[in-house]
Structure 1
Amino acid sequence: MNHPHIADIHCDVEPSEGQLRYLGRMLKEIHEVKLSRDFPHVRFAVSFNDEPGLNSIDYELTFWQAAD
């Protein structure tokens, strides 16, 4: 699972756009720090589409190993 939808984390509750974007930004930062710490010699790219006005299911996080 390399692109979790932020809305799927909220069970039985419809999150607001602000909540989705905030949680997505925090998870992006967490992934960047964790990947950097666990794999110091590998470069990763972490992406979160932090744009206003998206459908709630379109807020997702993904990461991949960046090319050297």
Structure 2
Amino acid sequence: MATSLLAFIGIFDLLNAARAPAADPKWLGFYNEAYLVVAAVYFVICFAASRYSQWLERRLQSGRRQA
């Protein structure tokens, strides 16, 4: 439960960091790139977590004896 809550808060922190350029007049028009970077970071984190969970499942499954 705490891990999912931390991930939820972290995602909103990333999105707020991406919204900062949209409020600054010097950076008008560049907020799309900020959202693309946030999307790429989120994808990398989710992909890495998915691959780790698959590896962990295979590792734990191989230690189980067949009856």
Which has the larger share of helix? 2
Per chain length, whose mean CA-contact separation is higher, i.e. which structure has more relative contact order (CA < 8 Å, sep 6+)? Answer: 1
- TM-score, normalised with respect to structure 1: 0.39
Name the larger-Rg structure. Answer: 2
